[in-house]
Chain A
Amino acid sequence: MTEGCRCADTQEHSGADLALIEPVLERYAGDPGSLIPVLQETQRVYGYLPKDALREIAAARKIPLAKVYGVATFYSQFHLRPRGEKVIRICHGTACHVRGAPEVTRVIVEELGAKVGETTEDRAFTIESVACVGCCGLAPVMIVGEQTHGQLDNVKARTIVATLREEAELARGEIPPSAEEEEPA
């Protein structure tokens, strides 16, 4: 069936190094219920699920690519496209919603020029929304990488995004324009 299905053929190859997931495929080879852990570990390897890797998983497990694709698209944890270097996860849990998450989101979207679920053009940031991250006492909350920021308001959100952007520019060797004029607060 895998040969018959052409749904992923229209895309160019992602150029992912498939040898990287061989150990994962081997480890779960005999376990019929393990497609989700396999995808989870594959994503840990590449940061997302490249098309080639999906094909490889389908072939190795002798299941239709359609099934792998079906599972990968069902769960929100899986990403079929590369994501930004930093993922900004804005909590949209109920507590954060009533304490101003929509406004904070508006500000961040405006500042970064990418919508929720999208990645900025320079691939520096991906904006995501998540449901309750368990810090409702500090709502509204967002998580950037490993760091959690709480009790956000528009001003705080803008400052954080500005700092993140400066960091990203510095990391790329560009000098942020503001650094020349202003003293850091």
Chain B
Amino acid sequence: MSAKAPVEITTAEGTTAIRICTGSGCVMNGSLDVADCFEKTLEEAGAHETVRVVRTGCHGLCENGPVVVVAPDGVFYPCVTPKMARGIVEKLVTDGSYVMDYLFRPAEGEEPIVRYSDVPFNASQQRIVLRRCGVVDPEDIDDALGLGAYDGLKKVLGELDPESLIAEIKASGLRGRGGAGFLTGQKWRFTRDAQGDTKYMICNADEGDPGAFMDRSVIEGDPHSVLEGMVIAAYAIGAHEGYVYVRAEYPLAVKRLRKAIEQAEERGLLGDDILGSGFSFRVRVKEGAGAFVCGEETALIASIEGDRGMPRVRPPFPATSGLWGKPTCINNVETLANVAWIIANGADAYSGIGTGKSKGTKVFALTGKVRYSGLVEVPMGMTVRDLVFGIGGGCGEGLDCKAVQIGGPSGGCLPERLMDTPIEYEALAEVGAIVGSGGLVVVDQKTCMVDFARYFLTFTQDESCGKCVPCRIGTKRMLEIVTRITEGNGEEGDIEKLEGLAIDVKRASLCGLGQTAPNPALTTIRYFREEYEEHISEKRCRAGVCLELSRYVIHADSCRGCAVCKKHCPVGAIWGEMKQPHTISVDRCIKCGVCVEHCPFDSIERV
């Protein structure tokens, strides 16, 4: 399967498939009902034998859900309702064509785009990890097998010994997608070379970044890509037992993963004597219990062992002493989903994508103030700007893009002027951000950068396991300082205090959580220092986010004097004659915001 085509739409000869997304976002928008409606209407029309309804994982464009793509032509319908479903089926069975009115239009009045792969959101994507996401039914292994699942494993078990397998993965240049970017082949090498008969292979699906859903989408959309990668990795390092550690909040992923394991075992692709090769590998699913730090590998191991998920000092690294003290290899979901593709298509094909030391593709959860948010996969080396504007369509709503936050609580904020930085491990590190696991949040003028730093510090402070002092106390003190700045109590010298503390916390913390926790604060200070200064010396929040530093105002030019706000204000803080612009008394206002909710003319704003 070619990596070039952004979305492969193939069906068996003479059949049509209606692919409807049943990822979490689309389900929320009612896609399950729509899928039922498709089936019912097809049956009524007597077309259920030739047209199949496939409930797939995420197609990517979550913003326009429920997403429906009709094969073989790849016709794309956004925001499909049951009523639209009936119309689509009707047209399909009468003349095999599509309903013009329901097609996607980039903007009101613009020409519609017929094929899903032609939508700007998809045009410059390159799908390796997501090769079968949105195409196959994740609960039906035959769908996946029909599109090349386990071909890589067959090749490995038939043609490669562990040594040449490791060499191949090394040659591909694949680096870990869990955050640290460690060379995957190298990690396998270390675990293979470690002393010991029993070894473990663990897939890290803890996905803790609070603004990201890449790994979840991969598991929900194509669990076999991850399982296949795990078996191959296990073969490379010599493990016969493995775990997938899944985040507690992902019940659907757990369900699909369990089903996939069952089906793979039935087909002899997992379990004892895989494909008659003599190699055996069993996988168990472990559900996390809600702790961000358990994404860290030594904490994850402690958690599987049934303990509090507290990290420990490394070395020894898990590769030599991991689960139950045995050599253990831990890889991220996305890392593993790349593996089978590399084997099937060759290391050269993979390393031909990307740049310098960053090879292949990266999946991002593109979210925030961006026109098209969703799941995207792009070649490494693409600029942040191309990702946000080319694929995401920019900020929309007439506001300017202010910054992008990459890498979540461990990552950094890049200002708009640095958006031409390419997505590469080294280039991003240089400007203070990280490739990270793939959370990419776009923010506009309505986001206060000090509040944003406070948001991430609140998260890391809350999730700090408490074992080491720099992280436990350091992040707490940092949070206190940032909080007082947002509350209007900032003092001269606070910024410097933050910077000093940040350096200490980074240097002295035990694990990656503390070592990276100051990054969001540091990068916002580095690129948006003036906002911190305004909060401290002018007691002003330019975004109107920090409650204590902002006030509600009525714009006289658009206020029609309807008095609705006056009627609803619980403290009588609004004055004005009928049909004349009203005003809010700063002294009386308790900033409850009720007036904004009720203003029919959007004339009230917090500034």
Contacts and interface: CB of A to CB of B under 8 A. Distances in A.
Contacts of A176: none
B597 interface: yes
A32 B76 CA distance: 51
A174 B217 CA distance: 43
A94 B455 contact: yes
Contact of A138 (B25, B286, B305, B369): B25
A95 B292 CA distance: 17
A94 B28 contact: no
B10 to A, nearest CB: 26
Contacts of B292: 131
A158 interface: yes
B369 A93 contact: no
B356 interface: no
A107 B441 CA distance: 24
Nearest to B591: A106
Interface centre among B289, B443, B465, B596, by most chain A C-beta atoms within 10 angstroms, is B289
A181 B247 CA distance: 46
Nearest to A39: B289
A154 B597 contact: yes
A71 B217 contact: no
A54 interface: no
Interface in B176-217: 208-213, 216-217
Contact of A94 (B23, B289, B441): B441
Contacts of A40: 287, 289
A71 B447 contact: no
B368 A71 contact: no
Contacts of B96: none
A36 interface: yes
Interface string B448-470: 00001001100100000100000
B249 A133 contact: yes
A94 B24 contact: no
Nearest to A70: B308
Interface in B299-355: 303-309
Given A93-B210, A94-B408, A95-B367, A134 B216 contact: yes
Contact of B443 (A92, A98, A106, A141): A98
B289 A95 contact: no
A32 B304 CA distance: 10
Contacts of A71: 306-308
Interface string A154-169: 1100100000000000
Contact of B439 (A34, A94, A154): A94
Contacts of B290: 75-78
Contacts of B306: 32-36, 71
A93 to B, nearest CB: 4
A135 interface: yes
Contacts of A2: none
A134 B303 contact: no
A99 interface: yes
B286 to A, nearest CB: 8
A49 to B, nearest CB: 11
A154 B213 CA distance: 25
Contacts of A148: 24, 27-28
Given A32-B306, A71-B308, A94-B210, A134 B291 contact: no
B241 interface: no
A50 B456 CA distance: 33
B16 interface: no
B229 to A, nearest CB: 21
Given A76-B290, A76-B291, A154-B593, A137 B374 contact: yes
B373 interface: yes
A77 B456 CA distance: 20
Contacts of B596: 154
Contacts of B211: 93-95, 97, 131-132, 136
A37 B374 CA distance: 33
B28 A150 contact: yes
Nearest to A67: B307
Contacts of A34: 306
B405 interface: yes
Contact of A103 (B63, B303, B368, B593): B593
B368 A132 contact: no
Contacts of A127: none
A26 B405 CA distance: 48
B29 interface: yes
A132 B247 CA distance: 11
Contact of B287 (A32, A37, A137): A37
A60 interface: no
Contacts of B61: 137
Interface string A85-110: 00000001111011100010011001
A32 to B, nearest CB: 7
B248 interface: yes
B459 A131 contact: yes
B138 interface: no
Contacts of A36: 286-287, 289, 303, 306
B3 interface: no
A122 B446 CA distance: 37
Contacts of B27: 148
Contacts of A110: 592
B217 A75 contact: no
A131 to B, nearest CB: 3
Contacts of B367: 94-95, 136-137, 139
Contact of B209 (A74, A98, A132): A132
A132 B62 contact: no
A37 to B, nearest CB: 7
Contact of B28 (A77, A93, A98, A138): A138
A78 B308 CA distance: 12
Contacts of A33: 304-306
A74 B210 contact: no
A131 B305 CA distance: 25
29 contacts: A32-B305, A36-B286, A75-B288, A75-B289, A76-B289, A78-B289, A93-B210, A93-B211, A93-B212, A94-B211, A94-B367, A94-B439, A94-B455, A94-B456, A95-B367, A95-B373, A97-B455, A107-B593, A110-B592, A131-B210, A131-B292, A135-B25, A135-B28, A136-B213, A136-B368, A137-B373, A148-B28, A154-B596, A155-B597
The 10 A-B residue pairs with the shortest CB-CB distance in the complex, in nearest-first order: A94-B211, A137-B62, A131-B210, A75-B289, A134-B213, A95-B367, A136-B367, A76-B290, A77-B290, A35-B306
Interface of B: 23-25, 27-29, 61-63, 65, 208-213, 216-217, 248-250, 286-292, 303-309, 365, 367-369, 373-374, 405, 408, 439, 441, 443, 446-447, 452, 455-456, 459, 465, 592-593, 596-597
